[in-house]
Amino acid sequence: MADRYEIRVPAIEVKQGERRIYCFAVDGKRIHDFATVSRIHRDDDGALDGYQRPEVLSHIKAIRRYLESDGAMLPNAVVLAFDERVKFEPYRRKSSVEYSVPGDIIIPVDESIAEENKPALLVDGQQRSAAIREADLGEFPVAAVGFIARSEDEQRSQFILVNNTKPLPKGLIHELLPDTAGYLPPKYARRQLPAQVMIRLNSDPEGPFYRKIAMPTSPDGEIKDNTILKMIENSLYDGALYQYRNPEDGSGDIDQMVLHLTAFWKLVENTWPIEWKMPPRKSRLTHGVGIQALGYVMDSITEGVYPEDFNELRIDRKLASIGDIAAWTGGVWDLGPDDQRRWNSLQNTPNDVKLLTNVFLRAIR
């Protein structure tokens, strides 16, 4: 029969405005008894579930070797998001300061429940806790900081904030942003709406970008997520998608944005069906420089126009005129007097994007 019990350890409750965090020590061998690691994936309906990056086995092995050596020390605290089953019981004696209260943190353990139903999620310290679990040690106490999370959206927000100063993979952040609530650093807040649009594009079976964008939940995608984000962001703040955005609060009509992008890029796909299926290393159409340059073409042609009126613009003819000069998969780009380059020499740099955009705009005019 599975055991049910409590882990009770001394803790300090620290008041931070209206919130509380709990600082304590716990045997690292026991963390996985009450905490789970929620790795990022999408469910059958395409909804985001989880938020942790996959374990890096080589890193875990290196930490384990260190832990098994003499004098090992892990001074950095693991961060845990608790649900309301975890309680704090203050001591009766008063603290010398109002913002710090001593007591016990009480964590229920139920060995019969599923992994995803445990009362804590590991927000930071995934690899350290895995290394401690695997290490040949009887116990290894670690510092921990916990907080009570009101929702999984808040857990995602804290995950991004906690890892903001670390080399967190950008792709993971981009996929988390649409489902994240609460404060975000300005550079992430600006990309939240573009990321929502990008994920819709990548998950639409009828759209031209379906599973073509490389993301943690679509690892087989070949177009870089940052490329698509830049294209959307440029259009959203200074292009065709601006008409669907509320500049006062930063919100926007995502359905209309997706419809607009899908309508234009479907025409791109129809114009160059072979080149569109090729990976960026073989086609400058799916490369960052091509995606961004055509994004500016979209802005130039369709700004102020709704998708239902695209037929009147004869976008297909304009794209065909670009096809007359395009060197997506071979040949030479003619970028101007004394500036001819091999098809694959153009790079995703601001200068090359600008040069290619100007060539395209001259062609459609």
Q: What is the DSSP string of 147-158?
A: EE-SSHHHHHHH
Query: What is the rounded distance in angstroms from the CA atom of residue 339 to the CA atom of residue 109?
Result: 69
Tens digit of each residue's pLDDT (9 = 90 or more) over 266-295: 999 999 999 999 999 999 999 999 999 999
Cα–Cα nearest to 164, from 177, 146, 145: 177
Q: Domain coordinates of the chain in residue numbers?
A: 4-168, 173-364
What is the predicted pLDDT for the residue at 337? 86
Q: Residue 72's pLDDT band (boundaries 50, 70, 90)?
A: confident
What is the predicted pLDDT for the residue at 188? 72
Look at residue 1 and tell me whether its pLDDT is greater than 50: no
Rg, Å, the chain Cα set: 26
Look at residue 38 and tell me whether its pLDDT is greater than 80: no
Query: For the chain, what is the total number of helices (H) and then of strands (E)?
Result: 12, 14
Token match 């004098």: residue? 71
Q: Residue 241's pLDDT band (boundaries 50, 70, 90)?
A: very high
Look at residue 48 and tell me whether its pLDDT is greater than 60: no
Contact present, 14 and 97 (Cβ < 8 Å): no
CB neighbour list of residue 33: distance below 8 Å, 6 or more residues apart: 7, 109, 111
User: What's the first-to-final CA gap in the chain, in angstroms?
Assistant: 77
Exposure string of 70-84, with b = 16+ CB inside 10 Å and e = fewer, is eeeebeebbbbbbbe
Q: Residue 123's pLDDT band (boundaries 50, 70, 90)?
A: confident
Tens digit of each residue's pLDDT (9 = 90 or more) over 292-322: 999 999 999 999 999 999 999 999 999 999 9
Task: List the Cα angle 260/187/349 in 5-degree steps.
Answer: 70
Q: What is the mean pLDDT of the chain?
A: 87
Query: What is the rounded distance in angstroms from the CA atom of residue 304 to the CA atom of residue 81?
Result: 45
Q: What is the mean pLDDT of residues 14-43?
A: 85
